[in-house]
Amino acid sequence: MNEHFERMLARAEQLMARIERVLPAPLSEPDWSASIAYRYRKRSSGHALLEPVRHVGVMRLADLQEIDGQKEKIQRNTLQFVEGKPANNVLLTGARGTGKSSLIRACLNEYAPRGLRLIEVDKADLVDLPDIVEVVAQRPEKFIIFCDDLSFEDGEPGYKALKSILDGSVAASTPNVLIYSTSNRRHLLPEYMKENLTYKHTDDGELHPGEVVEEKISLSERFGLWVSFYPFTQDEYLVIVAQWLRSFGVPDAAIEAARPEALVWALERASRSGRVAYQFARDYAGRHAAQ
């Protein structure tokens, strides 16, 4: 009887060990000395980890041209955060390729020596943000939770989760964590013509949005700081091209000669963005160096 019971107990322990290996383990701390930036990754098994970014992109604030107003706001807010002063969660919106995510990376490189760290989280994993905050809450560093190109379709679970995180959740009050998000949509959700019908107007002519519109506006309003980015003019685009060519070591005479090619490059892509300017500069600098 005792031998039978012991065999059953041993088999039960083996079974429990197998189940524990399959079940998701609690999020553990990474090697904080491995990097200044981390990615939150969840495997198909459900196991999640903070993965160090081994090669963080080199981007300096001085590299970003023609967005001085936006740069001043983001840099000021980030510095307040690093210094332990009150600071806001940030939503950066506007035209594609105008430097939204580059500005965040530049701030990371600027203030990493003072303890700033970044954790990149996909929107699908925003529901796990309380777990991430729990891991970093007692750390001395300051952490930016970075959600790039954030937008939601109707009914996505991350939408409700982000709302509670930004305003009203226990995790949001952690003093060493802020959320920085970039988006091409001001209100983060698709907007439809039929929603204009929900607007109401009073006798004096004032317009008031309906419940559907209010719901969509409410998420972006929970970010304390909004920073808008706009398409570049031709002259601004050429200034950015020149700056990047100069950073690649192209001489001034060649930079001046590159202007017509830079305009054709932008015309072919139907965009005068900072990203297009950088791509042209890489191409031109590579061809110029080969001569």
Q: Taking a C-beta distance cutoff of 8 angstroms, is the pair 111, 78 a contact? A: yes
Q: How far apart are CA 215 and CA 218, in angstroms?
A: 5
Decide which of 152 and 146 is more confident.
146
Q: How far apart are CA 40 and CA 52, in angstroms?
A: 9
pLDDT average, residue stretch 239-245: 93
Q: What is the mean pLDDT of residues 36-42?
A: 89
Is the pLDDT at 209 greater than 60? The verdict is no
Instruction: Indicate if the pLDDT at residue 195 is higher than 50.
Output: no
- β-pairing, 48-52 vs 116-120, is unpaired
Q: What is the pLDDT of residue 213?
A: 45
Is 60 exceeded by the pLDDT of residue 211? no
pLDDT tens, position by position, 48-87: 888 899 888 888 898 888 889 999 999 999 999 999 999 9
Predicted local confidence at residue 127, as pLDDT: 80
Mean pLDDT of the chain: 80
Q: Has residue 168 got a pLDDT over 60?
A: no
24-38, 88-102, 225-239, 251-265: which has the minimum mean pLDDT? 24-38
pLDDT > 90? residue 234: yes
What is the model's pLDDT at position 188? 57
pLDDT at 219: 66
Range with the largest mean pLDDT of 30-34, 73-77, 99-103, 147-151:
73-77
Which pLDDT value is given to residue 64?
A: 87
Q: Write the pLDDT tens digit of every residue in 112-135.
A: 999 999 999 988 788 888 888 888
| Pairing status of strand 116-120 against strand 37-42 | parallel
Question: What string of H, E and C letters represents the secondary structure of the chain?
Answer: CHHHHHHHHHHHHHHHHHHHHHCCCCCCCCCCCCCCEEEEEECCCCCEEEEECCCCCCCCHHHCCCCHHHHHHHHHHHHHHHCCCCCCCEEEEECCCCCHHHHHHHHHHHHHHHCEEEEECCHHHHHHHHHHHHHHCCCCCEEEEEECCCCCCCCCHHHHHHHHHHCCCCHHHCCCEEEEEEECCCCCCCCCHHHHHHCEECCCCCEECCHHHHHHHHHHHCCCEEEEECCCCHHHHHHHHHHHHHHCCCCHHHHHHCHHHHHHHHHHHCCCCHHHHHHHHHHHHHHHHHC
pLDDT band at 200; cut points 50, 70, 90: low
More confidently predicted of 225 and 162: 225
Q: Does residue 264 have a pLDDT over 50?
A: yes
Residues 245-251: what's their mean pLDDT?
91
Q: Which pLDDT belongs to residue 263? A: 94
Q: Which of 75, 76, 87, 169 is nearest to 128 (CA)?
A: 169
Q: Tens digit of pLDDT for each residue in 18-28?
A: 555 554 556 67
Residue 231 makes CB contacts below 8 A (sequence gap 6+) with 95, 98, 271, 272, 273
Least confident residue range of 58-62, 184-188, 265-269: 184-188
